């Protein structure tokens, strides 16, 4: 579970720095000197991350990613039985939530936020769903699912026991894997960026990337199958 880019106390142990330090990763025969992450996944979210190799290309890609020209699909395992399909079109704002700062909640003072959802498979107490982002707010999918009362399995902050998140942030050693599984269903939040599709800003070629479900997704689903 890695932060995408250096920030705060995270500098060397990030996805960006690990890629740059990997001597086996070459671009056009040359070692990469810099990378610019275009989409940033939450620390416990798995899946696709797009990087640009120059600041000029990054600016163009960020413009594309902030528009409706980019398709971003996520898969998630959530608590509860969900509808075949539904849309949450509710503004999100940062609020203080108990001891949690910068917690995103549905609030009319917030920024417009829209997510489309589709149920892929239902179990007795859980559902496997697909989410498509129509805007790119902080923690958007997690906040909208929490508002829908179907939080993501393993989500400490927006799940059934937010006090777990407070303990985890203050001292991760206070929260064991067993405690996470017992209280929120999984060691990490079962949210995965599964597909990104967009037109290259220079060549106009359609680029379509897919990441298969990670092992912990499959393990959880097989357990209930």
Q: Which residue numbers are catalytic?
A: 42
Residue 144: which residues within 8 A CB-CB, separation 6 or more?
88, 90, 92, 106, 113, 115
Element (H, E) at 181: helix 177-184
| Separation between Cα atoms, residue 5 and residue 20, nearest integer Å | 11
What gap in Å lies between CA 110 and CA 89, rounded to an integer? 12
DSSP states of 8-56: TTBSSSSHHHHHHH-TT-EETTEE----EESS---TT-EE---EESSHH
């Amino acid at each position: 579970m890695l932060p995408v880019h250096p920030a705060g106390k995270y500098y060397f142990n990030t996805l960006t720095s690990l890629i740059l330090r990997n001597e086996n990763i070459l671009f056009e025969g040359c070692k990469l000197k810099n990378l610019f992450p275009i989409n940033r996944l939450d620390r416990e979210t798995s899946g696709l991350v797009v990087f640009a190799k120059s600041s000029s290309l990054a600016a163009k890609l960020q413009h594309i990613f902030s528009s409706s020209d980019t398709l971003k699909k996520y898969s998630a395992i959530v608590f509860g039985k969900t509808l075949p399909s539904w849309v949450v079109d509710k503004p999100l704002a940062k609020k203080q939530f108990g001891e949690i700062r910068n917690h995103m909640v549905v609030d009319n003072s917030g920024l417009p936020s829209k997510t489309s959802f589709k149920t892929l498979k239902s179990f007795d107490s859980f559902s496997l769903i697909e989410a498509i982002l129509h805007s790119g707010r902080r923690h958007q999918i997690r906040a909208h699912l929490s508002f829908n009362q179907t939080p993501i399995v393993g989500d400490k902050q927006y799940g059934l026991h937010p006090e777990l998140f407070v303990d985890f942030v203050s001292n991760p050693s206070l929260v064991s894997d067993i405690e996470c599984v017992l209280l929120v269903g999984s060691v990490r939040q079962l949210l995965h960026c599964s597909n990104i599709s967009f037109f290259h800003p220079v060549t106009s070629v359609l680029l379509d990337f897919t990441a298969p479900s990670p092992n912990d997704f499959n393990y959880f689903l097989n357990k209930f199958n």
